[in-house]
């Protein structure tokens, strides 16, 4: 079994012990991804801005793996405040377009109080 690990830019990766994505047996597993500045580890105050950044990091990982948003089959959204989810919907519709994945939204605390959304995806390589 071939396993390929894709590192991201988050300072949390080496501190916690994970990588942005793992490619194995034709699947791409992208870790929970938040929308922060990887250099300063600061988060914009707006959930939509955080969502946009998180989707960008996910898109980079998928691309490096050889996939894209159209290949995502499962997505999990984690938000500390469920009221912040709906403002993100236009970005999510734009990302997944005509290829919506199975989805779950969970309301719970995140690692930092500044984090407003975390997104995790699983994709099948084309």
pTM for this prediction: 0.94
| Alpha carbon of residue 53 to chain centroid | 9
Q: Domain coordinates of the chain in residue numbers? A: 3-124
> What are the DSSP calls for 26-53, one per residue?
TEEEEEEEE---TTT----SSHHHHHHH
Residues in contact with 100: Cβ distance below 8 Å, sequence separation at least 6, in sequence order: none
- CB-based burial label for 85 (10 Å; 0-12, 13-18, 19+): middle
**74-83 pLDDT, tens per residue?**
999 999 999 9
**37-71 pLDDT, tens per residue?**
877 779 999 999 999 999 999 999 999 999 999 99
For 3-124, which CATH superfamily applies? Answer: RutC-like (3.30.1330.40)
């Amino acid at each position: 079994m071939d396993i390929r690990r894709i590192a991201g830019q988050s300072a949390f990766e080496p501190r916690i012990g994970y990588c942005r994505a793992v490619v194995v047996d034709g699947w791409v597993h992208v870790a929970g991804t938040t929308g922060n500045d990887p250099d300063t580890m600061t988060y914009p105050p707006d959930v939509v801005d955080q969502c946009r950044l998180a989707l960008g990091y996910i898109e980079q990982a998928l691309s490096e793996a050889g996939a894209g948003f159209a290949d995502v089959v499962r997505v999990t959204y984690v938000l500390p405040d469920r009221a912040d989810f709906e403002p993100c919907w236009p970005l999510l519709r734009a990302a997944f377009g005509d290829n919506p994945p199975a989805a779950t939204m969970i309301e719970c605390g995140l690692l930092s109080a500044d984090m407003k959304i975390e997104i995790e995806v699983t994709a099948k390589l084309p």
